[in-house]
Amino acid sequence: MSAFTGKVVWMTGAGTGIGKAGALMFAREGAAVALIGRRRDTLDEVAAEIQALGGTAVVEALDVADRQKVDVAAQRLLERLKRVDILVNNAGINVLNRRLDEITAADWDYILAVNLTGAFNMVQAALPTMRTQKDGLIINVASTAAKRVSGVAGIAYSASKFGMLGMSLSLTQEAWKFGIRACCLCPDDVNTPIMARRKVKYPPEVLEQFIQPEDLAETMKFVALMPKRTSIPEMIIYPTNIRPYTPAESGLPS
């Protein structure tokens, strides 16, 4: 029997990067995976990979920032898959012009709506079933931008990830009595498509030294396999070769 046989995982941002790697890992380990994201084409591609492995995948094209659609989608998933054991809040976006003197109010609203409110919407959708089950795990994928600010991440992204960390730690404090655990992952640079939305572009040999999506999938597996009596509220993950930011990247004085 595989590690997650009989379990159901909801994975947001499942079409690419960390979400795709996590979805494939959970599927290989026996879980049925709900693939949640805005682009059906990429979700369908991941679903096809999972099905080729002999796994179970359900595609739910969804903007997590839309609370009403989240609630409707959650009901569809529960009718089909009957339960939710693990929710991974991985959906996240950023914009190109992200510093204080560049960012627009519309971009601020957009980033907070997806990265923070979207995660809250998914938590609200999953919690009632987890409470009934008296069991559940919520993994929130934040960033080291939740621990320190820099011009690389930008003001809105940093605010959203600080907020996600606060939400996740609040869940740890409040949800344990219902048998629900929460963990906030705070990775540094990960080689995902979001890197293309930075003004500073990195060559392949640098990207290879970053954390890879599969590394974060293994981190999720580690957290999910902990005994129910044990909770990991927060994990910080760095590349072994920690790349120092230049003053131009960080926005800090030299």
Q: Which domain holds residue 42?
A: 8-236
Query: Which tokens is 90 given?
Result: 């991985």
Cα Rg of the chain, angstroms: 18
Instruction: Write the DSSP symbol of residue 229.
Output: T
Question: How many domains in the chain?
Answer: 1
Helices (DSSP H) in the chain: which residue ranges? Answer: 17-28, 40-52, 67-81, 105-112, 118-133, 155-174, 204-207, 213-224, 247-250
Structural domain contains residue 22: yes
157 is catalytic: yes
Structural domain contains residue 251: no
> For the packed helices 213-224 and 17-28, what is the interaxial angle rounded to 10 degrees?
50
Structural domain contains residue 217: yes
Structural domain contains residue 37: yes
Structural domain contains residue 181: yes
Structural domain contains residue 91: yes
Q: What is the pLDDT of residue 1?
A: 67
Structural domain contains residue 254: no
Q: What angle do CA 123, 126, 131 make, to 5 degrees?
A: 110
d(CA 90, CA 185): 10
pLDDT in tens, the chain (254 residues): 689 999 999 999 999 999 999 999 999 999 999 999 999 999 999 999 999 999 999 999 999 999 999 999 999 999 999 999 999 999 999 999 999 999 999 999 999 999 999 999 999 999 999 999 999 999 999 999 999 988 789 999 999 999 999 999 999 999 999 999 999 999 999 998 878 777 788 888 888 999 999 999 999 999 999 999 999 999 999 999 876 544 444 443 33
- Give the Cβ contact number of residue 79 at 10 Å: 8
**β-pairing verdict for 32-37 and 234-237:** unpaired
What three-state secondary structure class fits 192? coil
Q: What is the pLDDT of residue 248?
A: 45
Structural domain contains residue 2: no
Which amino acid, 114? V
Catalytic one of 157, 202, 238, 245:
157
Q: What is the CATH number of the domain that holds 180?
A: 3.40.50.720
